[in-house]
Amino acid sequence: MSDDLLSAFVEEARELLEQASRDLLALEAAPADGAALEELFRGVHTLKGSAGLVGFDAMGRALHAAEDRLSEVRRGARAVDAALVEALLEVAGQAERWVEAVAAEGVVPAGEAEAADALCARLEAAAGGPVAERPAAATAAASVAWAEALRAQAPDGAGHLIAFRYVPASDSYFAGDDPVSVVRGVPDLALLRVAPAMPFGELAAYDPFACNLVLTGASRAPLAAVRAAFRFVPDQVQLVELPAIESPAPPTSGEGRARSIRVDAGRIDALAAAADDLVVAKNAVAHLVAQAAGFAPAALARGLMAAHADLDRRVGRLHEGIGRMRLVPLAPLFRRFPPVVRQIAGGLGKQVDLVIAGDGVEVDKTIVDGLYEPLLHLLRNAADHGVEPPAARRAAGKPVPAVVRLSAAPAGDEVLIELADDGGGLDMGRVRATAAARGLAAAEALEAMSDEAAADLIFRPGFSTAAAVTELSGRGVGLDAVRSRVAALGGRVEVHSARGAGTRFVIRLPVRVRLARLMMVQTGGETFGVPLETVVEATRIAPERLTPVRAGRALVWRDRAVPLVSLAGLLDMPEPAGEPDELKVMIVRSGDQLAAVSVDAFGERIEAPLRPLAGVLARVPGLLGSSLLGDGRVLMVLDVPELIG
């Protein structure tokens, strides 16, 4: 089976399963929602057909059983109830695991019959009876004249043939069936005839939404293979086996039709990397232009600078365009979570409603792909630790169910993702006690900490207030994993809590992997980059303007006292000897505060691709990433606010 076919199956299946989960939750909330029912039925039917197309029989069988249950609801033979929704959610969950297995392994999983049997049994129990099987039966040729007539019309009709007569239901379009596509799936098709089932009559009376076709044909394939092609519409097909008079003709191969045109994400990644390399090359040209300006003729220098400015604009537009190609909405990611939250809360005996907002915000695909696990961990934390059991909420006068809100909003070049619950909030006394017991800080230091600083301790490795080991808590895998994975995406996460009113996690991430605007600075004989968005001002200060403050110094900047630190000191590098005639200082913003950071020298300002760090460097605090300079040197980019702490 081709990789392209499996890739298309995975992408379509993910979309259909996300939609199916939404429709199931909508039906649970409003069982009479006919639109959700129809959308769910069409999605299950389409996914069932796709599973058959790639030969995933176990998945197709489970989805067929789900479709039967939904057909009963559509006919009014049964109502939507909790048991049915639970069973259908199990099917959707298992289908999602199957699809991800296909995506990871590149082949259809084998040996899944037992899992499919369990799902079918679960659906049978939810319906109160077995799922009816309706195989398409083969009929004796002598009793069907139309089959012999097809033999006479087929090339080499004396060979072994399976004749079929397919009369689609009049509402087949609404059921998601495409009769022509169904017939195209018949292997070794030797003959096909399409005719109206009933005369069309006057054009004014024609109903384009009703199927009025009869499709008859013959195949050289075995009966089982032809029956498999019609396995999803067995009650609409009649099959007739026509024995061979002589050796059958060799089979002919059919061609599939392209369903869509997609650009592989890997190709876009490669194009983005090439654009980054082009930016580095452009910076190298800038370096050469600066060198040439000192000795080249004035006209040549002006020409070089104009050519570089034009190249700069063009490379910038290219990089911006490629960055936009990589933007995808957060909606597919966010919509994976409602059934997960429902399952987690149910297992804990809690009732939780997940409210989603802002899922139309677009973010770089790499960031979206990397957000699933951090958000899943935060959602588990909210369900397990954040919200209270129903009895406790009622005693506190809170509504049941609890509410967890997952939202996204753009903020300039960043996106803010918030996950907030209306639970009991952090118990700061317990947080401090746990931190002391884990040796994360001295008791005196913990008492002196503000609640906001103490709350940040929950991101330390090994921190956990879980009293017992469960499926969700107490296994030593804490919120430090969330912070490290968000940091690997170029973002940061913070927590805010109010006792009795809930906890709110805020994740700040770049919208896309963009060119970083950097100011280069020198200290201790090394050159570093500092993002310009963290620098309020770069200035020069006379030493006499400094004021001693306890063990340090401060300066007055625009009528505001600002503490002074040296970049060399923050990096544990040697300080310059002696007192300079003037200090070169960056005024930087650290949270809600300002700080002055002294450096040895200011360099030029550049735009360059910021590459994330890997390995040991990825865990070094105060480093945002690296970039390449025009002369080939590696530039380490600093997170100055994190260095200040």
What pLDDT, in 10s, does the model give residues 122-143? 888 876 654 444 444 444 443 4
Identify whether 132 is part of a domain: no
The number of residues making up the chain comes to 645
Whether 207 shows a pLDDT value over 70: the answer reads yes
Identify whether 616 is part of a domain: yes
Residue ending a domain, among 460, 486, 510, is 510
Q: Can you point out the beta strands (E) in 119-185?
A: 138-139, 161-166
Residue ending a domain, among 127, 147, 165, is 127
Q: Are residues 306 and 343 in the same domain?
A: no
User: In the numeric block, which tokens belong to residue 320?
Assistant: 């911006």
Q: Are residues 61 and 185 in the same domain?
A: no
Its pTM stands at 0.53
Identify whether 633 is part of a domain: yes
Identify whether 187 is part of a domain: yes
User: In the numeric block, which tokens belong to residue 325?
Assistant: 């190609």
Residue ending a domain, among 462, 479, 510, is 510
Give 191 or 245, the one with higher predicted confidence: 191
For residue 171, give the amino acid letter: D
What pLDDT, in 10s, does the model give residues 457-490? 888 766 765 544 344 443 334 677 788 778 777 7
Structurally, how many domains does the chain consist of?
5
CA–CA dist 101, 112 (Å, integer):
12
Q: Are residues 73 and 153 in the same domain?
A: no
Give 527 or 513, the one with higher predicted confidence: 527
CATH at 612: 2.40.50.180
Q: Are residues 396 and 495 in the same domain?
A: yes
Q: Are residues 286 and 334 in the same domain?
A: no
CATH at 397: 3.30.565.10
What pLDDT, in 10s, does the model give residues 8-40? 788 888 888 888 888 888 888 888 887 788 888
Whether 494 shows a pLDDT value over 80: the answer reads yes
Backbone angles phi, psi at 129, to 5 degrees: -175, 170
Sole residue written with tokens 């076709």: 213
493 and 483 Cβ atoms separated by less than 8 Å: yes
Domain that holds residue 98: 3-127
pLDDT at site 143: 42
Identify whether 251 is part of a domain: no
Q: Are residues 376 and 505 in the same domain?
A: yes
CATH at 76: 1.20.120.160
What pLDDT, in 10s, does the model give residues 329-379? 888 888 888 888 888 888 888 989 999 998 888 888 878 888 888 898 899
Q: Are residues 373 and 490 in the same domain?
A: yes
Identify whether 254 is part of a domain: no
pLDDT at site 135: 44
Identify whether 488 is part of a domain: yes
Q: Are residues 301 and 378 in the same domain?
A: no
Q: Are residues 585 and 606 in the same domain?
A: yes
Strands 402-411 and 352-357: parallel
Identify whether 255 is part of a domain: no
What pLDDT, in 10s, does the model give residues 135-171? 444 444 434 567 777 777 777 666 788 889 898 888 7
